[in-house]
Structure 1
Amino acid sequence: MKKSSSKVTSVKGKLHPRNLHLGQYDFVALIKVCPDLAASVIHNPKGELTIDFSDAQSVLLLNRALLIYFYDIKFWQIPAGYLCPPIPGRVDYIHYIADLLSESFALDITKTTGSQIKGLDIGCGANCIYPILGSRSYDWSFVGIDIDALAIKTAKLLVDVNKNLSKKVTIRQQKESKQILTGIVKKTDRFAFTMCNPPFHASMEKATEGSLLKQKNLGKKSLNKQSNTTNSTLNFAGQAHELSCEGGEIAFVKQMVIESALIKEQVCWFTCLVSKSENVNPIKKCLQQQVAKQVRVIEMSQGHKISRFIAWSYLDAEQQKDFLVV
């Protein structure tokens, strides 16, 4: 993969410059590596090849083809009803973390690679997408954690079956559903970074409303009125624990911040996606209370959508430079 040595900032409307998914999908090439995708490919009004992005099976097959073609992942499957993430946006998060590490370790981006750089994916899900993308893009090693037993079983299967992941990724189950980091991070663990796509909604009702709006925006303007609307929507959007938690995103991230202070010397950068911009300042206040030494908010652009993640560290800049060699 071609890499740049320069510091990268987000360009409005553009994916990260190192993102392999810049531009339009080459469906002809993708179908060659994943023939099952052919049945889902349609023409848009301009006559270009595309898929129905509101159809869960079509998105799953597109993901499978992308993972085969770009990341040499031969097997990828998730249980019905579990979150099926869009790969271009997910890998952007990986690339911006690489930039953050390059700056912190005072290393050229081409040297911010290798299994000595270890990440913790909080809520890896059945899809295990961040460990897959991070290990295949930068040769990083990962620990993925989740509370869901089936997600854990599926993620372990993906790691075991794909031999290019088996020595890079470890999956652990967090058995305490009320805890995020506590009890799952071992005293001997050291992570260059954590990453997390938290449950955004405060309730399943809000999650359902969000999924309906998403489907409408994707062009699915009507649902089969003879079917169960809630189940139909949630099967596209994800499982309950993937979508919602008591207090929503802000409560989840604040708890993560509080628990992060308990392992502050074991992690160089804690990071977490924040879907709502209005949640950033309350999270910053919580970080001030926990005496975080560095806080960064990094924006990412995907088309008309602006997303962001917040990063914090209890180490100063000099301590971070030495983190990998301590």
Structure 2
Amino acid sequence: MSSSFQSVQKECRGWIVQLLFRSLNYILWLQDLLDETMPEEQEIAGIDIGVGASCIYPLLGCATRSNWKFMGTGQDIDERSIQYARKNVMRNHLEDRIKIKHNDNPERILLLDGDESSREEIDEGLQNKELEPSAVCTGTDNEMITTGGEYGFIKRMINESLTYKTRIKWYTSMMGQKKTIKPLVDLLKSMDVRTVRRSVILFTLAYLQITNYVVTEFCQGRTKRWGIAWSFDSTRVVCAKSLDSYRPKSQFSIHFSKPVIDVQSMLKDILNDLDITFTERDEVTVEGEPVSNTWSRAARRQKKLKLDSSSQLQDTEPLFAFRFEFLETADCEIRVSWMRGKDRAIFESFWNHIKKRLEEGCGIIHGSAFAK
């Protein structure tokens, strides 16, 4: 790694060493987010906001992933820092993958708009790509000072993200203060997208909570930093490092004192009974995408009456995607993950139904049993 960033270290020797490894932790976390939620080998275009003289995040990203490109933008930074950043790009021979631009619009953080003219601000190589921006200030005083502090800066990012939504896969930022996390999470959960539906005389507002978000912690020596990421996409992050205390769980597990093969058989019987098509990806993994809530009481009553609703399910978008994994420890552990979907409540109702029936099959009864 040292040889890859030799020229960067020459320019910024005073603080680059400690910054390098902290920044690498952040880049590796971004890689984990993208690996879980995007197709393998897809070209990634990122925006680094407040790129700084070192250009450290684009350099690290491109050095560790050959399919990444970056546009680094600077708003409240001096021309000298911009020039240093461009020199560092050239010395690492990455001019074809990293572009540095000065953002002279104080009203915008992201150099994107819905119109075609604004797209021309971005290098041709970044047009119409999935964007995965990182936003963190890493340099001189005028780079690191922003109105409202880091909370104010990330709040502006969140507000701007309501305009772009799924045009950008992940919006991310690093935080230097743990106390910033909760207000930002509360903000994400209470965002008002203000989509106005017009009728002859009625105006109604549609509200949206941003529920797909992740918070993580980076430790480098005695220094701690935190990362936050949010997305308008329905694909959920399960494996990437996160602090689950700041978000509802996407993964649940339960233990049974029965052999794995017996619990697997029970699960498949339950899924078949619910008319849920599933795939056995390997010997210990079962995946599926329900297209209808067949586990509700109403659905079970309908099935008893033998009412056929299959014709209504053709070409229906799945409610969510799930994955069951069987872990053979001292007993049998079954773990379920919410892989994709927008409605957490329906996934949790599905899991509660499955769990109760598995418990019954293993002789564990809580309250009334399901009617056979």
TM-score, scaled to structure 2:
0.50
Compute the displacement of 1:100 (Å): 0.9
Q: Kindly, what percent of the aligned residue pairs are identical?
A: 26
Decide which of 42, 55, 64 is 1:128's aligned counterpart.
55
Decide which of 18, 26, 34 is 1:101's aligned counterpart.
34
Compute the displacement of 1:269 (Å): 0.5
Q: What is the rounded CA distance, in whole Å, between the counterparts of 2:102 and 2:113 in structure 1?
A: 8
Compute the displacement of 1:240 (Å): 2.6
Residue of structure 2 equivalent to 1:169: 98
Compute the displacement of 1:78 (Å): 3.7
Q: What is the rounded CA distance, in whole Å, between the counterparts of 1:304 and 1:80 in structure 2?
A: 20
Give unmatched runs, 5+ long, in structure 1. 1-65, 200-237, 322-326
* Cα contact 2:132–2:168 (8 A) shared by 1: yes
Q: Output one character per residue of 1:115-165: Cα deviation in whole Å (capped at 9) or x when no partner.
A: x112111111111000101100112111111123222222122222332x1
Q: Output one character per residue of 1:230-249: Cα deviation in whole Å (capped at 9) or x when no partner.
A: xxxxxxxx423222222211
Q: Output one character per residue of 1:63-83: Cα deviation in whole Å (capped at 9) or x when no partner.
A: xxx542xx2655655479998
Three-state SS of the structure 2 residue aligned to 1:272 is strand
Compute the displacement of 1:182 (Å): 4.9
Counterpart of 1:314 in structure 2: which amino acid? F
Q: What is the rounded CA distance, in whole Å, between the counterparts of 2:176 and 2:136 in structure 1?
A: 9
Structure 1 residues 171, 88: CA separation in 2 closer, same or farther (over 3 Å shift)?
same
Residue of structure 1 equivalent to 2:310: none
Structure 1 residues 83, 263: CA separation in 2 closer, same or farther (over 3 Å shift)?
farther
Structure 1 residues 191, 155: CA separation in 2 closer, same or farther (over 3 Å shift)?
farther
* Cα contact 1:174–1:184 (8 A) shared by 2: no
Structure 1 residues 298, 101: CA separation in 2 closer, same or farther (over 3 Å shift)?
same
Q: What is the rounded CA distance, in whole Å, between the counterparts of 1:254 and 1:127 in structure 2?
A: 25
Three-state SS of the structure 1 residue aligned to 2:214 is strand
Q: What is the rounded CA distance, in whole Å, between the counterparts of 1:182 and 1:315 in structure 2?
A: 21
Q: Output one character per residue of 1:252-294: Cα deviation in whole Å (capped at 9) or x when no partner.
A: 1101110122112221000001121211121122222153241
* Cα contact 1:82–1:126 (8 A) shared by 2: no
Q: What is the rounded CA distance, in whole Å, between the counterparts of 1:124 and 1:277 in structure 2?
A: 23
Q: What is the rounded CA distance, in whole Å, between the counterparts of 1:172 and 1:264 in structure 2?
A: 23
Structure 1 residues 135, 80: CA separation in 2 closer, same or farther (over 3 Å shift)?
closer
Higher relative contact order (CA 8 A, sep 6+): 1
Q: Output one character per residue of 1:167-190: Cα deviation in whole Å (capped at 9) or x when no partner.
A: 211111101234311558944443
Three-state SS of the structure 1 residue aligned to 2:170 is strand
The CA RMSD over aligned residues, in Å, is: 3.1
Three-state SS of the structure 2 residue aligned to 1:307 is strand
Q: What is the rounded CA distance, in whole Å, between the counterparts of 1:177 and 1:85 in structure 2?
A: 30
Asked if 1:309 is matched to 2:309, the reply is no
Three-state SS of the structure 2 residue aligned to 1:264 is helix
Q: What is the rounded CA distance, in whole Å, between the counterparts of 1:74 and 1:279 in structure 2?
A: 34
Q: What is the rounded CA distance, in whole Å, between the counterparts of 2:104 and 2:10 in structure 1?
A: 24
- Richer in helix (by share): 1
Decide which of 20, 28, 32 is 1:87's aligned counterpart.
20
Three-state SS of the structure 2 residue aligned to 1:119 is strand
Give unmatched runs, 5+ long, in structure 2. 120-126, 193-207, 237-319, 321-338, 341-372
* 79-88 or 303-312: bigger deviation: 79-88
* Cα contact 1:76–1:158 (8 A) shared by 2: no
* Cα contact 2:48–2:71 (8 A) shared by 1: yes
Decide which of 253, 267, 275 is 2:168's aligned counterpart.
267
Q: Where do residues 242-321 of structure 1 align in structure 2 (5 Å cutoff)?
A: 242-288=143-189, 289-290=191-192, 291=208, 292-317=210-235
TM-score, scaled to structure 1:
0.56
* 248-257 or 299-308: bigger deviation: 299-308
* Cα contact 1:198–1:252 (8 A) shared by 2: no
